[in-house]
């Protein structure tokens, strides 16, 4: 049973504190997910949201260190700017060029990125997809693409085609990945020049652009050109299917939106802070609960 926000556990002097910093922060679903999981796991933790303006970031990070936080999540616009303020970066954050989770050990701050690994977990659990030798077509070349592509490389992807509106941004990710993960072949293409042949050769289409959040279509992608065995993952999370997911399902291509990745990145952060697996299904249940209320 997910935590419904009514039986708030008592906060005492022993309660461990974690939270999320971003700007703005009101929209964040993480407090709902994490507090539900802490309550279900009977862990004496509390998770709080903090709106932190960019010019306050350094003072706040040092404050969290001084206040003895167990850790915190980091969201837009601080995912990259926080990196030089930390003591150490895990490979996941270094490769992604972004931090979304920090663990505090003593007065040391260690940065992780659980978004990419959350994607790998969601691909397996929701689409039964494991990266291998077949081409993965990534639409977009922003922060989410870079974290996702780094995790795909680590998970064994043999070939990735990055297709973006601005070709330079795709080249920049290709160059960062080539030096770090040379086993993965990476090509780039312009979004408005994506060919039928490139779609036909793809086993997974991964949307990492923000298109779809407000119902926007992604032009230039003819889903019906994907092979019948292909799958589609849309990182955009919304209450219902995104237009891209809808089109894929109409073509009998298994497809889901980014809710599973959001949950999986949260579960991985929970494990980093507590050392325990997050209770099964609780974060997802908490999100479903607010989405349907
Ligand atoms: P970002 O760094 O701003 O990148 C945005 C990307 O979208 C860029 O590749 C950009 O292309 C492309 N784009 C934007 N508007 C476009 C348009 N009109 N036509 C074509 N391409 C367009 O954003 P981000 O941080 O990567 O986030 C992207 C999405 O991923 C967001 O919806 C975010 O919520 C989602 N996300 C989901 C999860 C999850 O857990 N499910 C985690 C992280 C992010 P250009 O390079 O040409 O500008």
Residue 53 lies in a domain: yes
Q: How far is the CA of 107 from the centre of ligand 1 (A)?
A: 34
Give the chain's domain count: 2
Nearest atom (ligand 1) to Cα of 115: 42
Distance 12 CA to ligand 1 centre (A): 40
6 in a domain, yes or no? no
Q: Are residues 36 and 87 in the same domain?
A: yes
Query: Based on the domain organization, do 120 and 250 belong to the same domain?
Result: yes
| CA 49 to ligand 1 center in whole angstroms | 23
Atom in ligand 1 nearest the alpha carbon of residue 170: 46
Same domain, 287 and 192: no
Q: What is the pLDDT of residues 39-82, one digit of tens each?
A: 999 999 999 999 999 999 999 999 999 999 999 999 999 999 99
Q: Are 254 and 205 in contact (CB under 8 A)?
A: no
4: in domain: no
Does residue 287 line the site of ligand 1, with CB under 6 A? Answer: no
| pTM for the structure as a whole | 0.94
Are 225 and 245 within 8 A, CB to CB?
no
Distances (CA, A) of 215 to 211, 243, 268, 292: 7, 6, 29, 19
Please list the alpha-helical segments (H only) found in 183-281. Answer: 196-200, 243-250, 259-274
CATH number for the domain spanning 272: value is 3.40.50.10860
- Tens digits of residue pLDDT in 251-291: 999 999 999 999 999 999 999 999 999 999 999 999 988 87
Is there a single domain that holds both residue 164 and residue 252?
A: yes
69 lines ligand 1 (CB under 6 A): no
List active site positions.
79
Task: Determine the distance separating the centroid of ligand 1 and the alpha carbon of 213, expressed in angstroms.
Answer: 10
* Phi (first) and psi of residue 232, to 5 degrees: -135, 130
Q: Which domain holds residue 166?
A: 116-257
Q: Does a structural domain hold residue 1? A: no
Same domain, 133 and 235: yes
Say whether pLDDT at 1 is over 50: no
Number of the ligand 1 atom closest to the C-alpha atom of 259: 41
């Amino acid at each position: 049973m997910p935590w419904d926000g009514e039986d708030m556990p008592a906060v005492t002097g022993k309660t461990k504190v974690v939270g999320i910093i971003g700007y703005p922060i009101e929209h964040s679903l993480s407090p709902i997910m994490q507090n539900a999981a802490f309550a279900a796991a009977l862990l004496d933790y509390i998770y709080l949201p903090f709106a932190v303006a960019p010019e306050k970031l350094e003072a706040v990070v040092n404050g969290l260190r001084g206040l003895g936080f167990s850790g915190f999540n980091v969201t837009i616009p601080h995912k990259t700017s926080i990196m030089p303020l930390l003591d150490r970066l895990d490979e996941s954050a270094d490769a992604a060029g972004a931090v979304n989770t920090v663990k505090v050990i003593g007065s040391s701050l260690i940065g992780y990125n659980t978004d990419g690994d959350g994607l790998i977990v969601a691909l397996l659990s929701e689409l039964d997809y494991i990266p291998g030798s077949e081409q993965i077509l990534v639409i977009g070349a922003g922060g989410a693409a870079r974290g996702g592509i780094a995790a795909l490389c680590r998970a064994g992807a043999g070939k990735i085609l990055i297709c973006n509106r601005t070709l330079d941004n795709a080249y920049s990710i290709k160059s960062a990945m080539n030096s770090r993960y040379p086993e993965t072949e990476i090509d780039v293409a312009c979004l408005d020049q994506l060919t039928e042949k490139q779609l036909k050769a793809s086993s997974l289409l991964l949307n990492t652009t923000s298109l779809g959040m407000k119902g926007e279509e992604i032009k230039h992608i003819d889903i019906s050109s994907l092979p019948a065995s292909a799958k589609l993952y849309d990182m955009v999370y919304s209450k219902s299917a995104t237009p891209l997911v809808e089109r894929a399902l109409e073509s009998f291509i298994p497809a889901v939106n980014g809710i599973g990745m959001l949950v999986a990145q949260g579960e991985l952060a929970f494990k980093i802070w507590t050392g325990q697996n997050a209770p099964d299904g609780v974060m997802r249940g908490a999100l479903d609960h607010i989405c349907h209320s």
